[in-house]
């Protein structure tokens, strides 16, 4: 074994060992999601968001934006146009809000392999948020074959989903 391949193997063993307890893997996932909530979902009214279990095996958070000027900074044209319609249709006195969601569904989750579905949603169907024609959704599938790939690609996959909020 060359020095370089030995270093790589030692690093992989160290990473695998640091996540041999599934609780540590779970904590790493939640901490990483928290970072994306801070960057993309905190709004003028929702601050200090923390990842929660939204449903069994689904983690993430929702937030609301009441400042339409801030909500209109989104670059996705369909979402932007929907938010414009919301701002025109609902008087400011009624407090219209745009709902943002980031969630991660654990279809399979372990240190040896996993399958996650990361979903970002912008929803302008105030006040009920049930009309699917008034929301944009982006799903990102993430399958990994080892803990090294999980650590290396999790943030990239979250970033890809969160592009919807930019």
pTM assigned to the model: 0.87
Tokens of 43: 């709004």
Q: Which residues sit opposite 122 in a β-bridge?
A: 100, 136
* Phi, psi angle pair for 56, to nearest 5°: -55, 125
**Other residues' Cβ atoms within 10 Å of the Cβ of residue 106:** 16
Domain boundaries, the chain: 22-165
Mean pLDDT confidence for 131-137: 97
Give residue 9's pLDDT.
57
Give residue 23's pLDDT.
82
Q: Which residues sit opposite 60 in a β-bridge?
A: 52, 103
pLDDT in tens, 94-123: 999 999 999 999 999 998 899 999 999 999
Percentage of the chain beyond pLDDT 90 is 83
Mean pLDDT confidence for 146-159: 95
């Amino acid at each position: 074994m060359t020095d370089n391949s030995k270093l790589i193997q030692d690093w992989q063993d160290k990473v695998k060992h640091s996540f041999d307890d599934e609780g540590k893997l779970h904590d790493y996932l939640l901490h990483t999601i928290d970072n994306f909530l801070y960057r993309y979902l905190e709004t003028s009214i929702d601050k200090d968001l923390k990842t929660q279990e939204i449903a069994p095996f689904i983690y993430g958070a929702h937030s609301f934006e009441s400042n339409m000027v801030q909500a209109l900074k989104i670059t996705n044209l369909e979402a932007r146009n929907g938010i414009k319609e919301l701002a025109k249709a609902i008087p400011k006195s009624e407090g219209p809000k745009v709902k943002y969601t980031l969630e991660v569904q654990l279809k399979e989750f372990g240190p040896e392999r996993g399958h996650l579905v990361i979903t970002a949603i912008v929803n302008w169907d105030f006040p009920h948020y049930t009309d699917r024609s008034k929301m944009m959704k982006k799903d990102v599938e993430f399958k990994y074959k080892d803990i090294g790939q999980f650590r290396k690609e999790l943030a990239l996959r979250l970033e890809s989903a969160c592009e919807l909020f930019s």
